[in-house]
């Protein structure tokens, strides 16, 4: 029979033992986390370079004088909640469980485009290839444009972790015809790919980017003379093609420390005969109507429609809003993008395009839904199948 003093000592010892075990568990977890992060950084040897460049000099002076920056950080015209907290715990559980079908259950029917058909750009009109996510090869009145080109396997600063593409690229980057201008909407990894920039920079390709993004390009070897860097409502030209950086509602940054140091944008592209609008990543904003009144009607709008969620309602529109924006933009035809390729939200993978097709039917909007890699000539009418239903 133990005495009260001995029982107290035993109880204290047990409590100390439990505390030590908890501390050891935390230390083991931290050590494992540090090891994993260390391995990621070791295997991603270009991680530091992938973060991009530092904004300074004349570029910094332009930002400081811009009405779209405040305290060195870009801002949206409308109040925009970037906390992304919504019901964050519920969203986290759903993300881990993967209850919804967020990736195609079978192979995506990718089309290999005919290189000979692309050998000569159309002198007039619009021809395009949707290559997946927001990457579009575009010919507009003879000028070749590559929009938000991403060829990397993951939309991530790392090689071995991060959202992985659900289908192969329809064509190797080296086989794409030499383009006249690359148009970038913002600096997130699913829109600005360092590997693509490194591949195209030696070719002397011109890059059109929002204010601040040029710092990344220069750090990756693009000559300043090949960078067109614009604030909202500023314009420039490449040959006969006019480019205007128009507003969007989003955010930017390639790492936690550089959030909103660079601007995001939509783009208005105007050739001698044809006009195209690209939304970039965006939430709903009043300037859709302003852009439509100023530069419309558009022969084509390229509208993002995926990766939406109740936790971030201000920075991504869904398929319904994408079609409604097309109406305000006075778009004659609409191409939905920013869906299928990367798992970036909790909704089912095909929901965005289904929303687009259904809403377009209600509003009388002509929607183009090609398979990735399929060549589309805007001058010819075509019937577009609901091909995604074949793999759903």
Tell whether omega for the bond before 60 is within 30 degrees of 0, i.e. cis.
Answer: no
Q: Work out the mean pLDDT of the chain and round it to a whole number.
A: 90
Residue 28 has pLDDT above 70, yes or no: no
Residue 210 has pLDDT above 90, yes or no: yes
Give residues with Cβ within 8 angstroms of 152, minimum separation 6.
189, 193, 195, 196
- Say yes or no: 29 and 127 in one domain: no
Residue 299 contacts residue 126 (beta carbons within 8 Å): yes
Residue 84 lies in a domain: no
- Say yes or no: 37 and 159 in one domain: no
In angstroms, what CA-CA distances link 139 with 128, 130, 252, 337?
6, 12, 28, 17
Residue 152 lies in a domain: yes
**Average pLDDT of the residues in 111-133:** 95
pTM: 0.89
For 11, the domain range is: 4-43
- Say yes or no: 173 and 26 in one domain: no
Q: What is the pLDDT of residues 224-266, one digit of tens each?
A: 999 999 999 999 999 999 999 999 999 999 998 899 999 999 9
Q: What is the pLDDT of residues 50-94, one digit of tens each?
A: 999 999 999 999 999 999 999 999 999 999 988 766 555 566 666
Residue 23 lies in a domain: yes
Using DSSP, state whether 208 is helix, strand or coil.
Answer: strand
Q: What is the pLDDT of residues 303-360, one digit of tens each?
A: 999 999 988 999 999 999 999 999 999 999 999 999 999 999 999 999 999 999 999 9
- Say yes or no: 34 and 120 in one domain: no
- Say yes or no: 33 and 121 in one domain: no
Domain with 258 in it: what CATH number?
3.60.15.10
Residue 2 has pLDDT above 90, yes or no: no
Residue 205 lies in a domain: yes
Using alpha carbons only, what angle is made at residue 62 by residues 58 and 64, rounded to the nearest 5 degrees?
Answer: 115
Give residues with Cβ within 8 angstroms of 253, minimum separation 6.
187, 188, 259, 260, 261, 262
Residues paired with residue 70 on neighbouring β-strands, in sequence order: 73
**Average pLDDT of the residues in 15-39:** 62
- Say yes or no: 28 and 155 in one domain: no
Residue 140 has pLDDT above 60, yes or no: yes
CA distance 222 to 225: 8
Q: Count the domains in the chain.
A: 2
pLDDT on residue 159: 86
- Say yes or no: 28 and 127 in one domain: no
Residue 204 lies in a domain: yes
pLDDT on residue 39: 54
Residue 87 lies in a domain: no
Q: Enter the tokens of residue 175.
A: 């086989």
The residue with tokens 């965006």 is: 282
pLDDT on residue 9: 55
Residue 107 lies in a domain: no
Residue 41 has pLDDT above 70, yes or no: no
CA distance 223 to 46: 20
Q: Enter the tokens of residue 69.
A: 């920056």
Residue 282 contacts residue 315 (beta carbons within 8 Å): yes
CA distance 74 to 62: 12
Q: How confident is the model at residue 48 (pLDDT cuts 50, 70, 90)?
A: confident
pLDDT on residue 83: 74
pLDDT on residue 380: 82
- Say yes or no: 15 and 154 in one domain: no
- Say yes or no: 8 and 148 in one domain: no
CA distance 123 to 379: 12
Residue 85 lies in a domain: no
């Amino acid at each position: 029979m133990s005495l009260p003093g001995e029982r107290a000592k035993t109880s204290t010892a047990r409590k100390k033992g439990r505390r030590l075990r908890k501390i050891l568990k935390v230390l083991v977890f931290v050590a494992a986390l540090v090891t994993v992060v260390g391995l990621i950084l070791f295997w991603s040897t270009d991680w530091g370079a992938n973060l991009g460049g530092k904004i300074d000099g004349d570029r910094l002076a332009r930002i400081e004088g811009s009405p779209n920056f405040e305290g060195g950080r870009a801002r949206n015209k409308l109040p925009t909640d970037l906390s992304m907290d919504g019901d964050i715990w519920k969203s986290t559980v759903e993300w881990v469980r993967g209850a919804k079908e967020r990736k195609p259950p079978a192979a995506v029917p990718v089309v290999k485009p005919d290189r000979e058909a692309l050998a000569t750009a159309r002198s007039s009109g619009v021809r395009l290839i949707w290559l997946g996510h927001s990457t579009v090869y575009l010919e507009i009145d003879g000028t070749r444009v590559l929009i938000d080109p991403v060829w990397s396997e993951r939309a991530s600063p790392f090689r071995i972790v991060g959202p992985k593409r659900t289908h192969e690229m329809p064509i190797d980057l080296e086989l794409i015809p030499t383009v006249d201008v690359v148009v970038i909407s913002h600096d997130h990894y699913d829109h600005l790919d360092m590997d693509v920039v490194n591949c195209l920079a030696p070719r002397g390709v011109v890059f059109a980017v929002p204010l601040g993004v040029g710092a990344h390009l220069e750090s990756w070897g693009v000559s300043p003379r090949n960078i067109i860097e614009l604030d909202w409502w500023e314009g420039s030209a490449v040959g006969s093609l006019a480019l205007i950086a128009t507003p969007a509602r989003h955010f930017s940054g390639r790492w936690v420390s550089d959030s909103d140091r660079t601007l995001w944008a939509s783009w208005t592209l105007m050739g001698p005969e044809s006009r195209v609008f690209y939304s970039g990543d965006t939430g709903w904003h009043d300037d859709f109507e302003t852009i439509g009144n100023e530069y419309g009607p558009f022969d084509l709008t390229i509208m993002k429609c995926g990766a939406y969620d109740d936790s971030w309602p201000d920075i991504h529109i869904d398929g319904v809003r994408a079609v409604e924006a097309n109406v305000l933009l006075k778009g004659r035809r609409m191409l939905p993008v920013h869906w299928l390729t990367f798992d970036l939200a909790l909704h089912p993978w095909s929901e965005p395009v289904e929303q687009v097709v259904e809403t377009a039917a209600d509003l009388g909007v002509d929607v183009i839904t090609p398979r990735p890699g399929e060549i589309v000539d805007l001058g010819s009418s075509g019937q577009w199948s609901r091909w995604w239903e074949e793999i759903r």
